[in-house]
Amino acid sequence: MNATVEAKKLNKRLRRETGKAIEDFQMIKEGDRVMVCVSGGKDSFALLDILMQLKEKAPISFSLHAVHLDQNQPNFPVETIRRYLSEKNISYDIIDEDTYSIVKRVIPEGKTMCGLCSRLRRGILYRYAVEHGVTRIALGHHSDDMMETLFLNMFHGGQLKSMPPKLLSDDRKNIVIRPLAYCREKDIARFAEIRQYPIIPCNLCGSQQHLQRQSIKAMLAEWEKSNPGRIASIFRSLTCVAPSQLADRTLFDFEGLEEKSIQPAIRWLPEKGDAINSESHASPSNISL
């Protein structure tokens, strides 16, 4: 396939899938001020790119504001992101917060840093959103992230949960959206290659090769290789949950099932062929007036 034709088809597919997710979950509404979190990775660059395209043709009016959190990682080329956002002629801010030192001080060498790092980052971005009147916080998580999180929570947390496409923060002050929820990582990776984003790897945790998420990613890849279509089936299961077929008593009233059961109908009149008890079923001729 011609490279130009491939690029156009891929762009159109990602734009369609993103628009579909936004519509299905009502992620963006009229007048929303959407903060796009740009980390420097392929996913956040693709998210910003696609949202900028959709904004031009959307049936509603909303604004986009890009935000990058500079966590003070040594040798992190923050100027690369500043230059990219400036070239895109989009409103943006770069927040300077030294979370790197905190994570390095608290987490023992060799242990996974992603958990603490993400919590600190989330708190800073939530605070910024409230202070600047942001109504939507857009993150670049895609369908593969959602499926990997599902298995991580099952295998290591004992919970059946994933990343929702739309979320109300715990403090109930922010709405978080994931417009790439229907997009596959392989498509985003190819799109990033075509668009030549200035991708910056995360050296804080990206160098830890034995992260649990990497194991889940490899497991899913092997499943897809041996059983094509399994990944799509797993994702569909996230959108079609049957609480009555699980075992969570907070989601389904198992105790009250008897009250909801359908009892046999009471027969008020005899059916054809039934023997009639003369004492209990008097004929009209035997009724005294």
Q: Looking at the domain assignment, is residue 49 inside a domain?
A: yes
pLDDT tens for residues 80-113?
999 999 999 999 999 999 988 888 888 777 676 7
Q: Looking at the domain assignment, is residue 257 inside a domain?
A: no
Distance CA 174, CA 77 (A): 29
Which pLDDT does position 273 carry in this prediction?
61
% of the chain surpassing 70 pLDDT: 85
The secondary structure of 57-115, three-state, reads HCCCCCEEEEEEEECCCCCCCHHHHHHHHHHCCCCEEEEECCHHHHHHHHCCCCCCCHH
Q: Looking at the domain assignment, is residue 248 inside a domain?
A: no
Q: Are 152 and 212 in contact (CB under 8 A)?
A: yes
Spacing of C-alpha 191 from chain mean position = 20
Give me the CATH number covering residue 106: 3.40.50.620
Which pLDDT does position 289 carry in this prediction?
36
With a cut of 90, say whether residue 258 has pLDDT above it: no
Q: Looking at the domain assignment, is residue 181 inside a domain?
A: yes
Mean pLDDT of 188-212: 78
Which pLDDT does position 203 carry in this prediction?
62
Mean pLDDT of 182-211: 82
Distance CA 255, CA 171 (A): 32
Q: Looking at the domain assignment, is residue 250 inside a domain?
A: no
pTM of the model: 0.85
Q: Looking at the domain assignment, is residue 61 inside a domain?
A: yes
User: What range does the domain containing 111 cover?
Assistant: 3-239
Number of domains forming the structure of the chain? 1
pLDDT tens for residues 159-187?
999 999 999 998 899 999 999 999 999 99
pLDDT band at 253 (very low <50, low <70, confident <90, very high): very high
- DSSP-assigned letters across all residues of 151-176: HHIIIII-------SEEE-TTSS-EE
Which pLDDT does position 283 carry in this prediction?
44
Q: Looking at the domain assignment, is residue 266 inside a domain?
A: no
Q: Looking at the domain assignment, is residue 276 inside a domain?
A: no
pLDDT band at 275 (very low <50, low <70, confident <90, very high): low
Average pLDDT, the chain: 88
